[in-house]
């Protein structure tokens, strides 16, 4: 005889399963009573200052002494462009500078010559003044004698003619001085343009020197190179990517949902696990928050005023400084994925040693 089936006994397992399912959902979504002060996100990555190295001048590459992923120091030669044309341009600029300087020096010679001409004209004026004074004296002495018929009128005509010549000579000497003064003024007026020509030639020399220096592409800082994309014999122009330089500076950017930000403060301790290091855990601290969500920095911004609206939690980037003294920190590379955990209930830690920041 079979036992009588009881509906109450069948309901109990179903209720237990349902309760467990509800509890699992609440735990998964961190809803009460499973709320936690620890905020976690896997939308986080290692970041670094990746610098694209490009030439400033155009030309053919003649030497690339470095290789992919090499460690370099600031000033290390990465590539060299054929500099023969730039050397000739520098020589040409220096020759033009010499010409401009010679023209300016010649102006000083001309100035001294014109000043000497003025002195000669002044001496001529003094001589003409002396001749005029003598002629005037002769005319005054001879006039009474002619009136008294002691001297002939022909002699008087000669004296008066000499007086007129002396007056004309003085006027000519004075005009010569005026001409010499004007010539000197014209010469001095050309000095600003000649000085400007010298300055322009000096600037051209400096530009040619800069272009010649730029044929040597140097590392802008310490770090490791990415892939070297240039080849010997390749023609490059300004802006052509030669390689990339990744400095030692590292940090983490965690994109937290806006609903997770309550309680987060600058200085709070952070732990994060790195996928590439088999989940190894490292530490850091909250350094600063982005001034806007990621959507505000997108090229095409969303316009919620059009069409149907669906509210979506936005994410705010949080920059995390990596604590110094962690051996595994040297193995971090920009772009690595990490999982970040921040306990919003913890107090901000005092400023401690961290990896060098920008």
Name the domain boundary from 161, 186, 211: 211
Considering the domain architecture, whether residues 117 and 235 belong to the same structural domain is answered as: no
What pLDDT, on a 0 to 100 scale, did the predictor assign at position 6? 54
What is the spatial distance between Cα 340 and Cα 332, in angstroms, rounded to a whole number? 15
- Does 117 fall in a domain? yes
- Does 349 fall in a domain? no
- Does 259 fall in a domain? yes
What pLDDT, on a 0 to 100 scale, did the predictor assign at position 1? 46
What pLDDT, on a 0 to 100 scale, did the predictor assign at position 199? 92
DSSP 331: G
Considering the domain architecture, whether residues 181 and 140 belong to the same structural domain is answered as: yes
- Does 17 fall in a domain? no
Considering the domain architecture, whether residues 145 and 188 belong to the same structural domain is answered as: yes
Peptide bond into 321 cis (omega under 30): no
What pLDDT, on a 0 to 100 scale, did the predictor assign at position 283? 94
Answer yes or no: are the C-beta atoms of 267 and 286 closer than 8 Å: yes
What is the spatial distance between Cα 254 and Cα 339, in angstroms, rounded to a whole number? 8
Considering the domain architecture, whether residues 196 and 126 belong to the same structural domain is answered as: yes
Considering the domain architecture, whether residues 315 and 197 belong to the same structural domain is answered as: no
Considering the domain architecture, whether residues 151 and 206 belong to the same structural domain is answered as: yes
User: Of 74, 357, 326, 327, which is closest to residue 225 (Cα–Cα)?
Assistant: 74
**Residue-range definition of the domain harbouring residue 64:** 51-82+215-245
What is the spatial distance between Cα 133 and Cα 162, in angstroms, rounded to a whole number? 11
What pLDDT, on a 0 to 100 scale, did the predictor assign at position 30? 60
What is the spatial distance between Cα 81 and Cα 213, in angstroms, rounded to a whole number? 10
Which regions of the chain are under pLDDT 70?
1-10, 26-35, 132, 135, 138-160, 163, 303, 305-307, 350-358
- Does 21 fall in a domain? no
What are the tokens at 312? Answer: 């979506």
What pLDDT, on a 0 to 100 scale, did the predictor assign at position 321? 94
Answer yes or no: are the C-beta atoms of 267 and 341 closer than 8 Å: no
Considering the domain architecture, whether residues 224 and 318 belong to the same structural domain is answered as: no
What pLDDT, on a 0 to 100 scale, did the predictor assign at position 266? 92
Rounded to 5 degrees, φ, ψ at 271 are: -120, 145
- Does 27 fall in a domain? no
Considering the domain architecture, whether residues 127 and 195 belong to the same structural domain is answered as: yes
Considering the domain architecture, whether residues 150 and 194 belong to the same structural domain is answered as: yes
Considering the domain architecture, whether residues 198 and 92 belong to the same structural domain is answered as: yes
- Does 281 fall in a domain? yes
Q: In this structure, what CATH number is given to the domain that contains residue 168?
A: 1.10.287
Name the domain boundary from 162, 188, 211: 211
Answer yes or no: are the C-beta atoms of 87 and 95 closer than 8 Å: no
User: Of 311, 338, 345, 346, which is closest to residue 255 (Cα–Cα)?
Assistant: 338
Considering the domain architecture, whether residues 41 and 72 belong to the same structural domain is answered as: no
What is the spatial distance between Cα 87 and Cα 83, in angstroms, rounded to a whole number? 6
Q: In this structure, what CATH number is given to the domain that contains residue 64?
A: 2.40.50.100
What pLDDT, on a 0 to 100 scale, did the predictor assign at position 358? 46
pLDDT tens-digit readout, 80-110: 999 999 999 999 999 999 999 898 888 777 7
Q: Given phi > 0 = left and psi -120 to 50 = alpha, else beta, which region is 138?
A: alpha
Rounded to 5 degrees, φ, ψ at 146 are: -70, -40
Per the structure, how many domains does the chain have?
3
- Does 124 fall in a domain? yes
Q: In this structure, what CATH number is given to the domain that contains residue 285?
A: 2.40.30.170
Considering the domain architecture, whether residues 295 and 322 belong to the same structural domain is answered as: yes
pTM, entire model: 0.67
């Amino acid at each position: 005889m079979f036992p009588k089936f009881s509906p109450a006994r069948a309901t109990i397992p179903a209720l237990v399963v349902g309760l467990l399912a509800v509890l699992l959902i609440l735990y998964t979504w961190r809803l009460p009573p499973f709320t936690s002060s620890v905020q976690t996100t896997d939308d986080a990555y290692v970041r670094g200052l990746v610098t694209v190295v490009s030439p400033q001048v155009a030309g053919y590459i003649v030497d690339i002494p470095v290789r992919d992923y090499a460690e370099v120091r600031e000033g290390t030669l990465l590539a060299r462009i054929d500099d023969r044309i730039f050397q000739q341009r520098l020589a040409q600029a220096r020759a033009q500078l010499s010409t401009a300087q010679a023209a300016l020096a010649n102006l000083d010679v001309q100035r001294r010559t014109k000043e000497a001409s003025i002195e000669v004209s002044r001496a001529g004026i003094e001589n003409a003044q002396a001749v005029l004074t003598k002629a005037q004296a002769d005319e005054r002495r001879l006039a009474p004698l002619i009136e008294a018929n002691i001297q002939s009128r022909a002699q008087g005509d000669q004296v008066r003619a000499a007086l007129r010549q002396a007056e004309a000579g003085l006027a000519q000497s004075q005009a010569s001085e005026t001409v010499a003064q004007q010539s000197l003024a014209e010469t001095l007026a050309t000095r600003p343009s000649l000085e400007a020509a010298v300055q322009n030639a000096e600037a051209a020399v400096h530009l040619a020197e800069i272009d010649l220096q730029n044929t040597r592409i140097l590392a802008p800082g310490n770090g490791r190179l990415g892939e070297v994309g240039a080849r010997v014999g390749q023609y490059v122009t300004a802006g052509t990517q030669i390689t990339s330089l990744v400095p030692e500076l590292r940090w983490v950017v965690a994109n937290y949902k806006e609903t997770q930000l309550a309680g987060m403060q600058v200085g709070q301790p952070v732990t994060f696990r790195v996928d590439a290091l088999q989940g190894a855990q490292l530490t850091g601290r909250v350094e600063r928050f982005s001034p806007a969500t990621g959507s505000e920095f997108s090229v095409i911004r969303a316009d919620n005023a059009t069409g149907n609206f669906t509210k979506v939690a936005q994410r705010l980037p949080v920059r995390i400084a990596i604590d110094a003294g962690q051996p595994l920190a040297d193995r971090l590379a920009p772009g690595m994925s990490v999982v970040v955990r921040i306990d919003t209930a913890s107090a901000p830690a005092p400023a401690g040693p961290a990896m060098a920041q920008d």
